[in-house]
Chain A
Amino acid sequence: MSLETVDQPVALRPVSRKVAFVAHCLVNQNAKVDEFARTPGAVPGVVQLLHQHGFRISQLPCPEMAFAGVGRWWQGKEMYDKPNYRRHCRSLAERSADVIQQYLGHDFDIVIIGLDGSPSSGVRFTGSATDWGGRPEFHDGDYEVVPGMGVWMEELRAELQRRGLPWPRATGVLFDSTDWLEQRDMPIQMAELDQFLAEEA
Chain B
Amino acid sequence: MRHPDVRARRVALIADAIVNRLIPDADAAVAALVDAGFGFLMLPPHDFQLPSTQASIEYIIDDAVDYRRHEYEVIVVSVSALPQRGVWADTIAAELARRGEPPFRELDLAAVDERSLRVRVR
Residue of B nearest to A33 (CB): B5
By secondary structure, the A interface counts as loop
A129 CB-CB contact with B under 8 Å? no
Q: Which residues of the other chain, A, contact B27 by a CB distance below 8 angstroms?
A: 48, 51
Task: Determine how close the nearest CB of chain A comes to the CB of B26; give it in whole angstroms.
Answer: 10
For B78-100 the 0/1 string (1 means CB < 8 A from A) is 01011100000000000000000
Number of cross-chain contacts by CB at 8 Å: 130
Task: Determine how close the nearest CB of chain B comes to the CB of A59; give it in whole angstroms.
Answer: 4
For A59-101 the 0/1 string (1 means CB < 8 A from B) is 1011001100111000000000000000000001011001100
B67 CB-CB contact with A under 8 Å? yes
Does A37 lie within 8 Å of B45, measured CB to CB?
no
Task: Determine how close the nearest CB of chain A comes to the CB of B110; give it in whole angstroms.
Answer: 10
Partner of A35, one of B2, B44, B50, B67: B2
Partner of A94, one of B10, B40, B52: B52
Complex Cα spacing A12 to B49, Å: 12
For B6-43 the 0/1 string (1 means CB < 8 A from A) is 11111100001101111110010010011011111110
Complex Cα spacing A39 to B83, Å: 32
Partner of B51, one of A27, A36, A98: A98
Does A62 lie within 8 Å of B40, measured CB to CB?
no
A30 CB-CB contact with B under 8 Å? yes
Residue of B nearest to A92 (CB): B59
A130 CB-CB contact with B under 8 Å? no
A10 CB-CB contact with B under 8 Å? yes
List residues of A whose CB falls within 8 A of some B CB: 1, 3-5, 9-12, 27-32, 34-42, 44, 47-48, 51, 56-59, 61-62, 65-66, 69-71, 92, 94-95, 98-99, 102, 140, 178, 180
List residues of B whose CB falls within 8 A of some A CB: 1-11, 16-17, 19-24, 27, 30, 33-34, 36-42, 44-48, 50-52, 55-56, 59-60, 62-63, 66-67, 70, 72, 79, 81-83
Name 6 extra pairs, CB < 8 A, besides A34-B5, A38-B6: A41-B33, A41-B36, A41-B37, A41-B39, A65-B63, A70-B70
